[in-house]
Amino acid sequence: MPKRFLIAANWKMNPPPGGFDAPDSPYKSTATVEVVAFPTFLHIRDCVDAGLITGGQCGHPEKSGARTGDISMNMLQTAGCEYVLCGHSERRQSHGVTDEDVAAQVQAALAAKLIPILCVGESKREQEAGRGTDTVQRQLQAFQAGCVVAYEPVWAIGNEAADPKYAQEVHSFIRLQLPSALREKTNILYGGSVNPANAANFLSQPHVDGLLIGGASLKPGDFGKIVQVAEGLGAAGK
Ligand code: PGA
């Protein structure tokens, strides 16, 4: 069966965009494109009730306990989430999340029957030093069967998108790092300043199976256009 494109809306610390719960919401999945919304914890229930496929922006690996401010993977699943982001660069940078933490999150997410989206990506300094793929390879050690991978070069987030050909090369590198039985099955998303004008260039790269979108996902019109681009292109994994 051909893979469906996966288009993820990471709303970060913002309220859900207007019309997210409307009958014609652009955040709803279509026959050919799986769309997932990542709201704040406070808005998970609203998204689930609106019929959106919903994910948590992060989750703690422990089931419960003295973890002020945290939410566990099990709690996300009970609230109706189907996905969870693990290791987004903003969590790695500003919350001290380590590779070991991310590996524990991935494991706990799978145990809680959530699909982890393992986020990997190098900094500008690492890229300039020619160590970009070393970082990606190291971060991929948290990969397990059942994960989606999102390649998000840190320098491209909220800034200037990577060259789609560069993304394609790194995606191909990532695929080769995966266990051979999972290589073709695994969705590898690109993230970093995707917009309606560049979405087709990314999605038409052979190893790009979807997109993780921040800024443009807060504009329903732009996000809807990106979903339409994915629909127009048909199946992922061309
Ligand atoms: P951006 O964010 O689309 O605003 O670059 C992507 C992300 O951080 O997931």
Q: Kindly state if the Cβ of 214 falls inside 6 Å of ligand 1.
A: yes
Full-model pTM: 0.97
Confidence class for position 13, pLDDT limits 50, 70, 90:
very high
pLDDT at 174 over 90: yes
Q: The tokens of 222 are what? A: 């732009």
pLDDT at 238 over 90: no
Query: What is the three-class DSSP state of 193?
Result: coil
Is 196 within 8 Å of 224 (Cβ atoms)? no
Q: What does the pLDDT average to over 227-231? A: 97
Choose the residue to mutate in 194, 198, 202, 223 for probing ligand 1, maximizing ligand atoms within 8 Å of C-beta: 194
pLDDT at 95 over 80: yes
Q: What does the pLDDT average to over 171-187? A: 97
Confidence class for position 34, pLDDT limits 50, 70, 90:
very high
Provide, rounded to the nearest whole percent, the portion of the chain with pLDDT above 70. 98
The pLDDT score that the predictor gives to residue 2 is 67
Confidence class for position 235, pLDDT limits 50, 70, 90:
confident
Q: What does the pLDDT average to over 135-158? A: 97
Confidence class for position 86, pLDDT limits 50, 70, 90:
very high
Length of the chain: 238
Q: What does the pLDDT average to over 190-197? A: 98
Q: Kindly state if the Cβ of 161 falls inside 6 Å of ligand 1.
A: no
pLDDT at 154 over 60: yes
Q: Kindly state if the Cβ of 215 falls inside 6 Å of ligand 1.
A: yes
Mean pLDDT over the full length of the chain: 96
